[in-house]
């Protein structure tokens, strides 16, 4: 994936929202093949923390670094992919057109789009408009986006919502494979996750309340 060993680090992070301190002095180190699971109730700051890691929000204190550098660089963005609660796909375009745009924005890993779609059980949906897909199918499409782009760090906000049992299993399997290849994942989830590969670190945010 990348010649330098990837390393995502958060140091003394704090987030204040509407006069309420969501968390403070939060630190973590995430290395290759590791998973960071953020737990906590609604409103405990999970999504805020993810948005800080994406660089959308600035932390109110502390800093996030990628391989020792700032995360506002394109080098960081070339290595990370984010799947939020919004799918980020255009519903007037077809599955294939959406994936092609994603490829143009990031960089592909050379794998074929059809293979990726087959991997997430969307084979044969290439020319279907997104507006005709179910919520679960859209979720799986965003997994396909992760598969066709060569990103080392996945940041996933509630990846298991609106997925059925097989969908959840598939997601866990893909995450395990990603970790086995030296990738790293940050995710929030209400569900317990079961991975065959990857050391899982947990941060519980509700304790800071």
Partner 1 sequence: MYAFFAIVRRDLRLALRKRAEIINPLLFFVLVITLFPLGVGAKPMLLQAIAPGIIWVSALLAAMLSLDSLFRSDFDDGALEQLVLSPQPLSVLVLGKILAHWLVTGLPLVIIAPLLAILLGLSAKTISILLITLLLGTPVLSLIGAIGVALTVGLRRGGMILSLLVLPLYVPVLIFAANAVEMAQLGLPVMAQINMLAAMLVLACVLAPWPTAAALKMSMS
Partner 2 sequence: MKFIPDPIGKFFHRMASPPHFYALAGQMIPWLTGIFLVLLGYGLFAGLYLAPTDYQQGDSYRIIYIHVPSAWMSLFIYIVMALAGAIGLIWRIKLAEIMAISSASVGASFTFIALVTGSLWGKPMWGTWWVWDARLTSELILLFLYLGVMGLYNAIDDKRTASKAVAILALVGVVNIPIIHYSVEWWNTLHQGPTVTKMDKPSIHISMLIPLLTMAVAFKFYYVIAVLQRARLELLQRERTSAWVKKLVMEQSK
Nearest to 138 by CA among 194, 185, 98: 98
Q: Which does 91 bind (CB under 5 to 8 A by kind): partner 1, partner 2, none?
A: partner 1
Q: Which stretch binds partner 2 (CB under 8 A): 13-21, 44-52, 117-125, 185-193?
A: 13-21
Q: Name the pairing type of β-strands 184-188 and 34-39.
A: parallel
Q: Are 190 and 44 in contact (CB under 8 A)?
A: no
Nearest C-alpha neighbor of 12 from the set 70, 64, 56: 64
Query: Counting contacts by CB under 8 A, is residue 93 touching partner 2?
Result: no
Q: Which stretches of the chain bind partner 1, using CB under 8 A?
A: 51, 54-58, 74-75, 77-78, 80-82, 84-93, 97, 100-102, 104-107
Distance of CA 101 to the CA centre of its chain: 18
* DSSP string computed for 119-150: HTT-TT-TT-BGGGS-HHHHHHHHHHHHHHB-
In the bound complex, what is the minimum distance in angstroms from residue 58's beta carbon to partner 2? 8
Given 1, 11, 14, 16, the residue binding partner 2 (CB under 8 A):
16
Give which of partner 1, partner 2, none residue 141 binds (C-beta under 5 to 8 Å, depending on kind): none
**Nearer residue to partner 1 within complex by CB, 41 or 56:** 56
Per CB under 8 A, does 21 bind partner 2?
yes
- The continuous run of DSSP H or E covering 83 comes out as strand 80-83
Contacted entry of partner 1, partner 2, none for residue 190, CB cut-off 5 to 8 Å set by kind: none
- Between 39 and 60, whose beta carbon lies closer to partner 1? 60
Number of residues that bind partner 2 (CB under 8 A): 4
Looking up tokens 């947990």 gives: 202
Token readout for 108 is: 């592909």
Cβ proximity to partner 2: between 58 and 164 the closer is: 58
Q: Does 11 bind partner 2 (CB under 8 A)?
A: no
Q: Are 75 and 55 in contact (CB under 8 A)?
A: no
Asked if residues 42 and 115 have their Cβ atoms less than 8 Å apart, the reply is no
Residues 41-70 contacting partner 2, CB under 8 A: 58
Residue numbers at the binding site for partner 2 (CB under 8 A): 16, 19, 21, 58
């Amino acid at each position: 994936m990348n010649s330098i060993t990837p390393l995502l680090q958060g140091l003394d992070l704090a987030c204040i929202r509407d006069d309420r301190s969501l968390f403070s002095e939060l630190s973590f180190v995430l290395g290759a093949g590791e998973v960071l699971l953020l737990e906590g109730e609604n409103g405990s700051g999970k999504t805020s923390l993810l948005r800080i890691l994406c660089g959308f929000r600035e932390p109110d204190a502390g800093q996030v670094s990628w391989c020792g550098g700032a995360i506002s660089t394109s080098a960081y963005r070339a290595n990370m992919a984010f799947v939020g609660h919004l799918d980020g796909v255009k519903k007037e375009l077809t599955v294939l057109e959406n994936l092609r745009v994603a490829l143009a924005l990031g960089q592909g890993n050379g794998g074929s789009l059809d293979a990726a779609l087959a991997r997430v059980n969307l084979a044969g949906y290439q020319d279907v408009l997104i507006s005709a897909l179910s919520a679960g199918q859209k979720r799986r499409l965003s997994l396909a986006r992760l598969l066709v782009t060569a990103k080392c760090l996945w940041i996933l906000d509630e990846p298991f919502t609106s997925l059925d049992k097989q969908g959840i299993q598939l997601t866990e399997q893909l995450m395990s494979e990603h970790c086995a290849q030296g990738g790293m994942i940050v995710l929030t989830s209400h569900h317990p996750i079961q991975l065959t590969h990857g050391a899982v670190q947990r941060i519980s945010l509700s304790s800071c309340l």
